Amino acid sequence: MEANLQNMQDRLNRLTPASLNDLIPSANTGISPAMLTTRLRKASGVIDVALTTHMAAAPDSLTPLMLRLRDIRSRYKGNPQVLAAANSTDVRLSAYENASKEILKGIPPITNPSEVPKSTSGRARGIMNLNMTCEYPTAHFLGVPQESATVNEYIFNVHVKTCAQKLDGPRWIKTDFNGSVIEYEGGPLYLADVSFTNCTFKFGSDPKSRAALSAIEAGKGNPVSLLILE
């Protein structure tokens, strides 16, 4: 019994912002790009467990970490491995901040496909650990308004098949789109290890849309981590 309690306490300790603080260094820390990539991937794993177990952090404690990640993304924008890892962690951290606010209010994420709203609500509620198949390919998994900057939902570990989906706004984490129509119009884009298989892309002609499509196509079916802010 005591051993089980200790194991649980150890797990809690690993999921604290202090643990993330140890893993996400400042941009000028001097460690090698390979080590930096490894630490950022470990930080992403910590956040995934926190989201899965609905373990909240004080949102204010995450802000300094997001600022560090912005610095890392700027300093290592010429290093694809570091940039992808930083993008992935940054998107997750943004989602974790939003998730923590809802968890602290006692509001659980949506895990039943029948409860997925037809459109975003502006709240930070999560949709996670579910499979969604649309009967009609023009039907959207989750409706996103034109003002995508107000969208705060996070989608984690979701498999979407033959649905249309606008990417602007929500935080997409470990999401898989299969046979779907993917739309993007140059708004805020948060992708962390998102896969696209046999999808049709309807992207805008603006520079952000072209950059996003280029990054997805360059992934050649592998998970993509991309962060585009307005």
Identify whether residues 6 and 79 lie together within a single domain.
yes
Identify whether residues 163 and 183 lie together within a single domain.
yes
User: Ramachandran region of residue 147, left (φ > 0), alpha (ψ -120 to 50) or beta?
Assistant: beta
| In the block, residue with structure tokens 């962390």 | 192
Strands 189-197 and 224-228: antiparallel
Identify whether residues 224 and 119 lie together within a single domain.
yes
Q: What is the mean pLDDT of residues 152-163?
A: 94
Identify whether residues 94 and 149 lie together within a single domain.
no
181 vs 164: CA distance, rounded Å: 4
pLDDT 10s digits, 83-94: 999 999 999 999
Identify whether residues 52 and 148 lie together within a single domain.
no
**Global pTM exceeds 0.85:** yes
15 vs 183: CA distance, rounded Å: 34
pLDDT 10s digits, 22-54: 999 987 888 999 999 999 999 999 999 999 988
Q: Please give the residue range of the domain that contains residue 140.
A: 113-228
Residues 6+ apart with CB under 8 A from 114: none
DSSP code of residue 140:
B
CA distances from residue 159 to 62, 194, 195 in whole angstroms, order as listed: 28, 10, 9
Identify whether residues 85 and 125 lie together within a single domain.
no
Total domains, the chain: 2
DSSP code of residue 155:
E
138 vs 11, higher pLDDT: 138
Buried b or exposed e, range 102-124, using 16+ CB within 10 angstroms: bbeeeeebbeeeeeeeeebeeeb
